[in-house]
Chain A
Amino acid sequence: MSERVAIVGVGWAGFRPSTPYQSYKELMYEAAVRAYADAGVDPRRDIETFVTVSEDFHEGTSIFDEYTPDQLGGALKPVHTIGGDGLHGLATGYMLVRTGRFSLVTVEAHSKASNILTLPYITAYAQDPVLNRPLRLNPEYIAGLEMHRYLYETDTTPEQCAAVVVKNKRNALLNPLASFAADLTLDEVLNGPPVAWPLGRHEVAPLADGAVVMVLASEEKARLLTDKPVWIRGIGWCNGPASLESRDWADAPHIREAARLAYRQAGIRDPFQEIDFAEVDDTYAFKELQHLEALGICLPGEAGLLTEQGATEPDGEFPVNVSGGSLGVGHLLDGTGLARALEVVLQLRGEAGPRQLEDVEVGLVQSWRGVPTTSGVVAVLSN
């Protein structure tokens, strides 16, 4: 049996700051229909099992199984509803194909952020109930604490973090799915209002609504369905010490380890040389830099320099977040990782329109579940 797993269909819906006319089920439905058309499959007949990623409290519901299979065509089929980021769903779908029991799997993740009225309170519930939560602090303080220690240990500058914002929001100008494209100057970013100094408002990805659906297939099935399969060559995930009391405030060891697992599986030894471009988590601007370093693209303290020198621009040596990232596209909560993966798929298929990179064969995608977590996923995709 072949061990290869391919992405053979992608679909999306929403990608707007708010979607008042659509329910999240309709967003999922719209994305699913597109993905099935793209893959050339009939979901009721062909898809064998379904994975949905969601966080109950983001939905204002409990037990999300009760809300998920119908709009994906998954009723009376095996369904997993898992908590995590969208890429955790991709990893789960990958494993389901690798069991040999399933040759076609649907993976879905979404955000209806515009319906959430008390997000900081929900996020606060992910902190220790008696050590942290009684302080009643907006959870963005955790990003501020991490950023300050990251700058301190790596000598990265606020200007280098701001350069990430300028780059990603400018990249987003070429992406019709991006809600927060802008042509800003470094000074405009640096002089914006502070949220949790040294973290500024412009350095925080704004939220958006949207759904992403992907169809995964075994190699045998992929060959029948498409001449543009995108292969999942390696995928790894990892959780760091989660508590605020024992985490590393400057580094992202969970991403380092997730990358090691993904690279080992994909046979990648030198990611900077062997990978052509990356979509990485930029929920906060400094995270793009910290994550690039944890991914082994460069050494700690170098990602800011690379960014300043233009190496991560679309025409640079190692383009990062050509899509605009979450800073430019909008943050899709649990759907963010799949949104990053969507861009990698489009680039590898040569379907990225005016922002298409030339001659790309191997792409990297990385996700992080946001504060206060230390949960991350890394995948290597190729055409």
Chain B
Amino acid sequence: MTLLERDPNAPVFWKGNMPVTSRYTFGLAGERFFRAIKDEGRILGTRCPECDITYVPATLFCERCMAELTEWVDAGEIGEVHTYTLLFEDMDGNRLPEPEIVAFVRLGDGGLVHRLGEVELDELYIGMNVEPVFKPAAERTGSILDILYFRPVD
């Protein structure tokens, strides 16, 4: 505000930041989930037979009935676009040169938030079948970024 800049009594401010550095351990189920992505290029879930729900990503427990889950399943290679958005701003609020296509891809009774790629906007629709595109096995580290994006299944 120019008025403030001209005012010799304008309030000053003190800039600060918080030096937060931390570890995160994803847990027993999370480790196995990422290891399967890294080593096998597979997305795993866990099943609660009581509630008839398949959790993807795999979890150690059922959030509905609190049972411990021991039945591991392959969530398969094809998911469904449950919803998607075109994101026009980056983390700093700056306009992106091209919008990013971000989707929630339904896998089992859960799914993953990720980018979509190799897709034309006018061909995209809710309910479209998509598959993950993995990085080459040698480059995978056991991370959600081992999946580059999801793309339409022909």
Contacts and interface: CB of A to CB of B under 8 A. Distances in A.
Interface of A: 20-21, 57, 60, 62, 115, 117, 120-121, 124, 129-132, 134-138, 140-141, 144-149, 152, 193-199, 241, 244-246, 249-250
B106 to A, nearest CB: 10
Identify the 4 closest CB pairs spanning chains A and B, nearest first.
Answer: A144-B85, A149-B83, A197-B86, A245-B110
A206 B88 CA distance: 17
A148 B126 contact: yes
B88 to A, nearest CB: 5
Contacts of B18: 57, 60, 62
Interface in B111-153: 111-115, 126, 143-145
Contacts of B30: 130
B66 interface: no
Contacts of B63: 241, 246
B113 A132 contact: yes
B85 A197 contact: yes
B90 A138 contact: yes
Interface in B20-64: 24, 26, 30, 34, 55-57, 63
Contact of A137 (B13, B16, B100, B112): B100
Interface in B60-87: 63, 82-87
B113 A131 contact: yes
Nearest to A125: B20
A115 B16 CA distance: 10
Majority secondary structure, B binding face: mixed
Interface of B: 4, 10-11, 13, 15-18, 24, 26, 30, 34, 55-57, 63, 82-93, 99-100, 102-104, 109-115, 126, 143-145
A146 B109 CA distance: 17
A131 B82 contact: no
B143 A60 contact: no
A245 B56 contact: yes
Given A20-B4, A149-B126, A197-B99, A135 B144 contact: yes
A148 B101 CA distance: 13
Contacts of A250: 83
Given A121-B91, A140-B89, A195-B89, A134 B144 contact: yes
Given A130-B30, A149-B82, A244 B113 contact: yes
B89 A138 contact: yes
A162 to B, nearest CB: 17
A120 B85 contact: no
Contacts of A20: 4, 10-11, 13
B144 A145 contact: no
Given A130-B144, A241-B63, A140 B115 contact: no
B124 to A, nearest CB: 11
Given A132-B113, A134-B145, A152 B126 contact: yes
Contact of B104 (A117, A129, A244): A244
B85 A129 contact: no
A239 B17 CA distance: 30
A224 B102 CA distance: 57
Contacts of A124: 91
Given A62-B18, A196-B88, 11 more contacts: A60-B16, A130-B26, A134-B145, A135-B145, A138-B91, A140-B89, A145-B102, A147-B85, A149-B104, A149-B126, A152-B83
Contacts of A134: 143-145
Nearest to A18: B1
B87 A141 contact: yes
Given A130-B24, A130-B144, A131-B144, A120 B93 contact: yes
Q: Which of A21, A129, A141 has the most CB of B within 10 A?
A: A141
Among the interface residues B84, B87, B93, B144, which one has the most CB atoms of the partner chain A within 10 A?
A: B87
Given A134-B145, A149-B82, A246-B55, A144 B112 contact: no
A120 B87 CA distance: 13
A20 B4 CA distance: 9
A136 to B, nearest CB: 6
B91 A120 contact: yes
Contact of A148 (B16, B83, B109, B111): B83
Contacts of A144: 85-87, 102
B85 A115 contact: no
Contacts of A193: 88
B113 A135 contact: yes
A121 B93 CA distance: 10
